A and B are shown apart, each in its own frame.
Chain A
Amino acid sequence: MRDLYDRLTMAFPLGELTEQRPDLAFVTVPREQLRSLLLHLRDQEGFTHLVLLTAVDWLEEGHFQLTYLMNNRRACRDLGVRVMLARDPASMESIHDLWPTAATYQRELREMFGIDFPGSPRVDEDFILEGWIRTPPYRRDFDTLKFSDEVFAPRPGRASSDPAEFMKQQLYPDKT
């Protein structure tokens, strides 16, 4: 992976290379350079297969990480390209023209994370959720427990005791 990284850094301002395994590494690239880097990887370096495109919400740091995982089947190795995006408003250039299948990923990211990909086919259509009006659910600030408490009713009669608390009530109730 080092060899590839050395070649790429001559043309692209890349961050540190994280070598997870001999056949898997991750690298961060500024969002402006993403498209040219992906094109270069696809056409010059044999990374023709877009394995997945997904996002990670680093809520505390205030940004989204987009991961474009690229696979070179002949060399049997993968490179994960990370792009850091501002969370609000989150928007990224579409790559559906490079990989038609990316449109699906982008549609999902739009719905689940609220990241826009202007120009991506059907990006504003509902994908999995219909009529969702709350926070995009895969964002870290969407509280699933709160949501489920609001939407669903618990089964009546369910209650549990904490062993230590219960023992206190039973064995030494007078003490605070």
Chain B
Amino acid sequence: MLYQPDRSQYPSRKPDGSLDIDLSSGKYLKLWQGPQHPGITGNMSVELTVCGDEVVEGKTHVGYLHRGFEKLMERRTFIQCFPIVCRICVPEPDFNEYCYAAAVEELAGLEVPERAHWIRTLILEMGRINSYLMYLGGQAGALGQGVIGQWTTYVRDLMLDRFEELSGARIYHMFIMPGGVRDGLPDGFDQRMEETLREIESTLADVKDVMFNNAVFKKRTVGLGYIDPAIVDQYGVTGPTARAAGIAKDVRRDQPYLVYPELDFEPVVGQDSDVFTRADVRRRDLLMSVDLIRQILARMPRSGAVMAPLPNVLHWKIPFGETYIRGECSRGEYGYYLVTDGSGYPRRVNVRGPSYTHAMALLERLIVNCNISDVAALMVSLHTYPPEIER
């Protein structure tokens, strides 16, 4: 460890509890990391106050990506909201599509066909793999290992090819619609998917050798960014970040949705709750997704409807109601809170992205006393995507 175990009394505080930082003393320096900075995840920035190379205070600033989706949706009919929700999270857009669709279906009383549930699960797991691959590249990159990012980007691209042939698009798939999914699997999809999965597995084996079994990586990440399991609920921590702290929180098992009750899996858990453990939990979770995709493809029905009969979507009205739909995305609990008022438009949509809590309150807490060179690694280890903070 580079620091004294207990640095909590540093810097000192004023009697009212606020930090005693006098910038004119020359001891402190204000430093902006982001919004354009290779060590930042997406478009956000952290306002750091450093003393020497140690961070004494960090404030997250967002606002570079705000498009007001929640408000835009209040002006769009229920079907018109479907193409915009995916844009709330670029690397893993499918959770937006699923959560929104499921919320609309629940309030509108639509019965989604069984086959659509399987295809949705497949898509969500494919998206999870993509998101983790992007994360692994970022996590390694934050510590200067550019090569990992090149490898994971390559296999991620293969998965994007699978997305393209399944949904007709690589990034914003717009495939999970209220009512079901647009179409079934294309011919020969299983085989090409199996080839992709093998490529991912082999790449991950390399990643394990080069990134995880790596003295430098271990030295930099073990013990960094410790999250006390006791604060997990206080800070709304979910997903792999919570599981790395030994808390087996996984919506797929706790409140199963889609076809997860029929799949065989156990949440991946770690114990040390540091950057290394979080990375490792994600790597193992990724391999579990590979296994889940194999299970899904082996067991999913191959014929039957993929869409529930919809009313005329041009004047689709949904009765008064409210609901919350959640799913376990690669970063934690993703959820949609949808309120309807009997009109053809949502009254209110609130998107609960895991980054909202992770990148704000949690990061601001963890960043204190961190070495400035570790800020990027710490931030990436929370696996945050700014668009879902601002929406």
Contacts and interface: CB of A to CB of B under 8 A. Distances in A.
The judgment on whether A and B are partners is yes
Interface of A: 18, 20-21, 23-24, 26, 48-52, 54-57, 67, 69, 73, 76, 78, 80, 99-101, 103-104, 126-130, 137-138, 140, 142, 144-145
17 contacts: A18-B322, A20-B322, A21-B323, A23-B255, A24-B324, A26-B322, A49-B238, A51-B324, A52-B350, A55-B348, A73-B249, A73-B254, A101-B236, A101-B357, A104-B360, A104-B361, A129-B66
A101 B235 contact: yes
A138 B390 CA distance: 13
Contacts of B326: 51
A43 to B, nearest CB: 12
A56 B321 CA distance: 12
The 3 closest A-B pairs by CB, nearest first: A48-B233, A54-B350, A101-B361
B323 A24 contact: yes
Interface residues of B, number: 38
Nearest to B236: A101
Given A23-B255, A104-B361, A144-B75, 12 more contacts: A49-B236, A49-B238, A51-B326, A56-B322, A73-B249, A73-B254, A100-B234, A100-B361, A100-B365, A101-B361, A129-B63, A137-B71
A18 B107 CA distance: 13
B interface, by DSSP: helix, strand, loop or mixed? Answer: mixed
A interface, by DSSP: helix, strand, loop or mixed? Answer: mixed
B256 to A, nearest CB: 9
Interface stretch (B8-16, B194-202, B258-266, B333-341): B333-341
A67 B75 contact: no
B345 to A, nearest CB: 11
Contacts of B291: none
Contacts of A126: 63
Contacts of A80: 322, 324
Contacts of B90: none
B335 A52 contact: yes
A145 B75 CA distance: 9
B205 interface: no
Contacts of A48: 233
Contacts of B238: 49
B87 to A, nearest CB: 16
A90 to B, nearest CB: 15
A80 B106 CA distance: 16
B356 interface: yes
A159 to B, nearest CB: 21
B220 interface: no
A4 to B, nearest CB: 16
B106 A50 contact: no
A54 B337 CA distance: 9
B310 interface: no
A51 B348 contact: no
Given A69-B324, A69-B337, A104-B356, A128 B66 contact: yes
